[in-house]
Structure 1
Amino acid sequence: MPSPGRPKIDNPKKLKIGFRVSEEEREKLDVYCEKKKLTQSQVLSEALELLYKKKP
Protein backbone atom coordinates (compact mmCIF):
# COMPACT_ATOMS: atom_id res chain seq x y z
CA MET A 1 0.00 0.00 0.00
CA PRO A 2 1.54 3.36 -1.04
CA SER A 3 2.26 5.92 1.65
CA PRO A 4 0.04 9.01 1.75
CA GLY A 5 1.34 12.52 1.17
CA ARG A 6 3.33 14.31 -1.43
CA PRO A 7 5.75 12.42 -3.67
CA LYS A 8 9.47 12.74 -2.95
CA ILE A 9 11.44 15.23 -5.07
CA ASP A 10 15.01 14.85 -6.35
CA ASN A 11 16.49 17.96 -4.74
CA PRO A 12 14.54 18.90 -1.61
CA LYS A 13 15.07 22.39 -0.18
CA LYS A 14 15.88 21.77 3.48
CA LEU A 15 18.02 24.79 4.32
CA LYS A 16 16.65 28.13 5.48
CA ILE A 17 18.75 31.30 5.30
CA GLY A 18 18.14 34.89 6.33
CA PHE A 19 19.75 38.17 5.38
CA ARG A 20 19.32 41.89 5.94
CA VAL A 21 18.05 44.31 3.30
CA SER A 22 17.16 48.00 3.31
CA GLU A 23 13.54 49.12 3.24
CA GLU A 24 14.04 50.16 -0.40
CA GLU A 25 15.41 46.73 -1.37
CA ARG A 26 12.54 45.00 0.45
CA GLU A 27 9.99 47.15 -1.36
CA LYS A 28 11.61 46.37 -4.72
CA LEU A 29 11.54 42.65 -3.92
CA ASP A 30 7.90 42.77 -2.82
CA VAL A 31 6.84 44.69 -5.94
CA TYR A 32 8.76 42.31 -8.22
CA CYS A 33 7.29 39.23 -6.54
CA GLU A 34 3.77 40.62 -6.81
CA LYS A 35 4.23 41.65 -10.45
CA LYS A 36 5.72 38.31 -11.54
CA LYS A 37 3.57 36.15 -9.19
CA LEU A 38 6.70 34.56 -7.70
CA THR A 39 7.81 33.82 -4.15
CA GLN A 40 10.89 35.47 -2.68
CA SER A 41 12.63 32.08 -2.81
CA GLN A 42 11.86 31.72 -6.52
CA VAL A 43 13.22 35.21 -7.22
CA LEU A 44 16.42 34.48 -5.30
CA SER A 45 16.91 31.16 -7.10
CA GLU A 46 16.42 32.79 -10.51
CA ALA A 47 18.77 35.65 -9.60
CA LEU A 48 21.47 33.19 -8.54
CA GLU A 49 21.13 31.27 -11.80
CA LEU A 50 21.52 34.50 -13.78
CA LEU A 51 24.61 35.50 -11.75
CA TYR A 52 26.23 32.10 -12.31
CA LYS A 53 25.60 32.31 -16.05
CA LYS A 54 27.07 35.83 -16.16
CA LYS A 55 30.03 35.33 -13.79
CA PRO A 56 31.03 31.68 -13.32
Structure 2
Amino acid sequence: MLVVNNDGIATEPVTAPRLKSLDEVKDKALMIHVGGDNMSDQPKPLGGGGMRYACGVIK
Protein backbone atom coordinates (compact mmCIF):
# COMPACT_ATOMS: atom_id res chain seq x y z
CA MET A 1 0.00 0.00 0.00
CA LEU A 2 1.26 3.47 -0.81
CA VAL A 3 0.35 6.07 1.82
CA VAL A 4 0.46 9.68 0.68
CA ASN A 5 0.12 12.64 3.05
CA ASN A 6 -2.07 15.72 2.45
CA ASP A 7 0.81 17.43 0.65
CA GLY A 8 0.96 14.60 -1.91
CA ILE A 9 4.20 13.16 -0.57
CA ALA A 10 4.76 9.43 -0.07
CA THR A 11 7.51 8.55 2.40
CA GLU A 12 7.35 4.75 2.48
CA PRO A 13 8.72 2.66 -0.40
CA VAL A 14 6.44 0.36 -2.34
CA THR A 15 7.69 -3.17 -2.90
CA ALA A 16 6.62 -5.54 -5.64
CA PRO A 17 8.66 -8.73 -5.11
CA ARG A 18 7.27 -10.48 -8.21
CA LEU A 19 8.21 -7.56 -10.46
CA LYS A 20 11.56 -8.34 -12.07
CA SER A 21 11.85 -5.32 -14.37
CA LEU A 22 10.08 -2.00 -14.83
CA ASP A 23 9.66 -2.99 -18.48
CA GLU A 24 6.97 -5.42 -17.27
CA VAL A 25 4.70 -2.49 -16.37
CA LYS A 26 5.75 0.02 -19.03
CA ASP A 27 2.74 1.30 -21.00
CA LYS A 28 0.34 -0.34 -18.51
CA ALA A 29 -2.38 1.54 -16.65
CA LEU A 30 -2.21 2.40 -12.95
CA MET A 31 -5.43 3.04 -11.01
CA ILE A 32 -5.27 4.73 -7.61
CA HIS A 33 -8.16 4.26 -5.20
CA VAL A 34 -9.04 6.36 -2.15
CA GLY A 35 -8.68 3.39 0.25
CA GLY A 36 -6.77 0.13 0.41
CA ASP A 37 -7.53 -3.31 -1.03
CA ASN A 38 -9.24 -5.70 1.37
CA MET A 39 -6.69 -8.43 0.44
CA SER A 40 -9.44 -11.04 0.50
CA ASP A 41 -10.24 -14.11 -1.57
CA GLN A 42 -13.78 -12.70 -1.58
CA PRO A 43 -13.16 -9.22 -2.91
CA LYS A 44 -15.52 -6.34 -2.43
CA PRO A 45 -16.43 -4.01 -5.32
CA LEU A 46 -13.30 -2.17 -6.52
CA GLY A 47 -11.22 -4.44 -4.23
CA GLY A 48 -12.62 -2.67 -1.18
CA GLY A 49 -10.44 0.31 -2.08
CA GLY A 50 -13.27 2.75 -2.43
CA MET A 51 -13.75 5.37 -5.09
CA ARG A 52 -11.28 5.71 -7.95
CA TYR A 53 -9.07 8.74 -7.36
CA ALA A 54 -6.67 8.93 -10.30
CA CYS A 55 -5.29 6.89 -13.16
CA GLY A 56 -2.49 7.08 -15.66
CA VAL A 57 -0.15 5.16 -17.93
CA ILE A 58 3.29 4.14 -16.68
CA LYS A 59 5.98 5.45 -19.04
Q: TM-score, normalised by structure 1?
A: 0.29
Task: Tell which structure's C-alpha radius of gyration is larger.
Answer: 1
Q: Of Structure 1 and Structure 2, which has the larger fraction of its residues in strand?
A: 2
Q: Which has the higher helix share?
A: 1
Per chain length, whose mean CA-contact separation is higher, i.e. which structure has more relative contact order (CA < 8 Å, sep 6+)?
2
Q: With structure 2 as the length reference, what TM-score do the two structures score?
A: 0.29
